[in-house]
């Protein structure tokens, strides 16, 4: 059975370092839950132009997974120092907070699809309304 990929592409992950913050370029794949797998966001480091240069085995070794069932909040955030022409958003889980940046034209779509999968109990209009409220309370 094929996995249900809802979105994939380049995201930048903000990482805390000893002297400031750094953005790592990641290939990211958003999966919807199905009978054989959980809903999740998988990402792995993407070097020099592509996610597939090291082969599937290498990707599996360095892959990170966010279980969307553990998601508490997804919202757009203002972060200084984002990569050029990107916008940032937050994914908060019960265990950790992740700050990602995506192409400015893709930020809304990433947030919408993440919310749609992480919070399926909310009707789509309510989901977007909640996202708008979160963004306006900053």
Q: How far is Cα of residue 91 from the mean position of the Cα atoms in its chain?
A: 7
Residue 136 has pLDDT above 50, yes or no: no
In the DSSP assignment, the letter for residue 75 is E
Average pLDDT rounded to a whole number, residues 8-31 = 90
Over range 4-26, report the average pLDDT: 90
Question: How confident is the model at residue 135, as a pLDDT?
Answer: 45
Domains, in order of start, for the chain: 5-133 (2.30.29.30)
pLDDT band at 123, cuts 50/70/90?
low
pLDDT at 60: 54
Name the E strands within 1-138.
4-17, 20-32, 40-45, 64-67, 71-77, 86-93, 97-103
Taking residues 118-130, what's their average pLDDT? 65
35 strand-pairing partners: none
Sign of CA dihedral 118, 115, 44, 57: positive
Indicate if the pLDDT at residue 10 is higher than 50: yes
Q: Tell me, what's the pLDDT at 124?
A: 58
- Reported as a pLDDT band with limits 50, 70 and 90, residue 129 is very low
């Amino acid at each position: 059975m094929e996995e249900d990929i809802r979105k994939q592409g380049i995201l930048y992950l903000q990482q805390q370092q000893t002297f400031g913050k750094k953005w790592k370029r990641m290939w990211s794949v958003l999966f919807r839950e199905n009978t054989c797998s959980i809903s999740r966001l998988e990402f792995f480091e993407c070097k020099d132009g592509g996610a597939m240069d090291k082969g599937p085995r290498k990707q599996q070794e360095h892959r990170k997974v966010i279980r969307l069932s553990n998601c508490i909040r997804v919202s757009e955030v203002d972060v200084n120092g984002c990569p050029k022409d990107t916008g940032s958003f937050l994914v908060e889980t019960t265990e950790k907070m992740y700050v990602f940046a995506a192409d400015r034209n893709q930020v809304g779509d990433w947030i919408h699809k993440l919310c749609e999968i992480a919070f399926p109990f909310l009707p789509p209009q309510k989901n977007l309304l909640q996202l708008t409220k979160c963004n306006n309370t900053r």
